[in-house]
Amino acid sequence: MEKLNVLVTGGTRGIGAGIVRALAGAGHHVAFCGRGEAEKYSAVAADLETEFKIKAAYYQCDVSSRDDHARLLDSFLADFGNLDALVNNAGVAPEVRADLLEMTPESFDRVMNINLKGPFFLTQLAAKKIKANPNGKFHAVVNIGSVSAEYASINRGEYCLSKAAVAMATKLWAVRLADEGIAVYELRPGVIRSDMTGPVTEKYDKMIANGLTLQKRWGLPEDIGKAVKMLLSGTLAYSTGQVIQIDGGLTVERF
């Protein structure tokens, strides 16, 4: 497998940490970013280097900040030389799961800025960096979406809207970046055990037991990590713009 230099946003915990570990385990050089303290997560990066014999780094970054985008990519390029793949994973749920009639503009803006605006403009800048320094390797952008792009949840409407928009952003970037040799994919996780789903664990335990998913278990961060690893291997290189559901069969229509 070709070894790539990969940047993963929101890679400190949950799905993001699962992705980082899967890529490091495959031999890719990987950097991850988040809002956590640099000392703590730089130590995590050092542990990855020791365990997997790859280059790893952590950068503090707020993905909703355009200024942080520039600093993030400048730091990455200074450390790794070139960027081969971007995984847009960073995302948040609303701080308060409010009914649509009670949703606030502040909550809407926060979720959209982090889940949509941030990755959209980071992709824009990253694509320019890749275009400026082609190296003959496989280049890709992977957006981590959600089944909430299609499933309406009226107590977290801003999250659903953000993920529906990410789905269109994936199509837009796939069209625009095809001639630049950059493949673009979307992964749609279903019910994944993480900090985000922690507050509703009991609810989903019951729903899964009652047949919510065909595979009667929670999805795990490593399930998403394996899918990203597969995409960056080039196995689906002739499939740009495609959506892959990682949901245990949740979205399969049934009678």
Q: What pLDDT, on the 0 to 100 scale, is given for residue 26?
A: 98
Give the mean model confidence (pLDDT) for residues 67-79: 98
Kindly name the residue from 41, 159, 185, 238 that is annotated as catalytic: 159
When mean pLDDT is compared across 47-51, 161-165, 200-204, 224-228, the lowest value belongs to: 200-204
Q: What pLDDT, on the 0 to 100 scale, is given for residue 197?
A: 82
Residue reference for tokens 């992709």: 123
Task: In the chain, count H helices and then E strands.
Answer: 8, 7
Task: Identify the structural domains of the chain with CATH numbers, from first to last.
Answer: 5-246 (3.40.50.720)
Q: Which residues make Cβ contacts (< 8 Å) with residue 124, sequence separation at least 6?
A: none
Question: What are 159's two structure tokens?
Answer: 């999250």
Report DSSP state, residue 180: G
Q: Which residues make Cβ contacts (< 8 Å) with residue 1, sequence separation at least 6?
A: 26, 27, 233
159 is catalytic: yes
- Closest of 144, 121, 107 to residue 20, by C-alpha: 144
- Counting Cα atoms < 13 Å in the Cβ hemisphere of 134 gives 7
Q: What pLDDT, on the 0 to 100 scale, is given for residue 22?
A: 98
Other beta carbons less than 10 A from residue 178's beta carbon: 13
